[in-house]
Structure 1
Amino acid sequence: MTHQTHFFYAVPLPKEIKLIMKDHCEKLKLSLPFNRWVHHEDLHITLAFLGFASLEQLEKSKEYVRNELRGIHSFSLKINQLGIFGRKESPRIFWGDTIKSDELQSARKKVFTACEDAGFQLETRPFRPHITLARKWSGEEPFQNEMLDVWHELQQNPLAFLASEVVLFQTHLQKTPKYEVKEIFPLI
């Protein structure tokens, strides 16, 4: 059975932040029973999910993204809280959030527009930047919002990092980590 591969553009987390997140996630696993935790090497903020892409369409998106990001400067991001997507009592996604960033919104808009111009049909939901940490609540008791307070110091001392590149990733579902870097678009 062959698996169709997917592609997406994202802002990766720097290695040192991934290692800090790894340490915290190891502790979070003890009190937050989710089925699947994201490998720390795969932590990122998705800008545009492409899904399956032909080589021609992918090359066109890379050209357009490169042109759109030309002249864009690196920018600071801060991870400051935890959150969930899905049903309150049984969330499907557990994530880390960043403090609102106009620079991130702008970079996302440029990448998103470039991918649409390359012919991709992209998701139309409003952009909610986040770093997926885990999927599928598996606790015997319903999830409680108070459980998000488990990483107390995060709001007082946000994890700051420099977003210095956008990356085109390819997904390999049968591997760990799952995401392979296909192209890097450095920011100034």
Structure 2
Amino acid sequence: MGKINTTQYAVLGVLTLGESSGYEVRKHFETAVSHFWSESYGQIYPALKKLTEEGYAEEVEGGERSRGQKRYRITDEGERRFRDWLGGPIDPVSYRDELLLRTFFARKKDIPAVRFLFERELAGMQQAREAYLKQQTALVQHEGGEEHPFLALTLRYGELFVEARYAWCTEALALLDRLEGENES
């Protein structure tokens, strides 16, 4: 069997949760794992095709299909391959943050533009805080958080990340206030 890329493993991960259409796989990436992973339609459908060709997933015959959507499930071989991947080494985190990049290159004359960026980011972090609260509530109410400790772990990472980013933005805006005060003196 051929080499599987991370996108394919991510799709297999969704299929370990049950049969899904490509649309449902995409919805999973837009909701459940969006705080740490994303895949586009342009990645998902070729991954499903490749996984099916390689024998790691299969199209579900018959069954209910809305709008003619194909449904897929993981095969036993796909399950084995996925479990092997879970225990294998991980690639180092490749971190790209455009706000940090812009901040790094900004100068005092750029304070208005930088302020705008941080105010927008702070608002986004507030929305993310609210989204995590809803996800945490849903996990406890509908799925019993104790039964899903690994899902809870990923949510907690997102919460901590958002809290740290929120605090950083708040500090950055306070620094910009001080710098503007110095410029007015």
TM tier relative to shorter chain? under 0.3
**TM-score with structure 2 setting the length:** 0.24
Please identify which structure carries the higher strand content.
Answer: 1
Please identify which structure carries the higher helix content.
Answer: 2
Bigger RCO of structures 1 and 2 (CA < 8 A, at least 6 apart)? 1
**TM-score with structure 1 setting the length:** 0.24
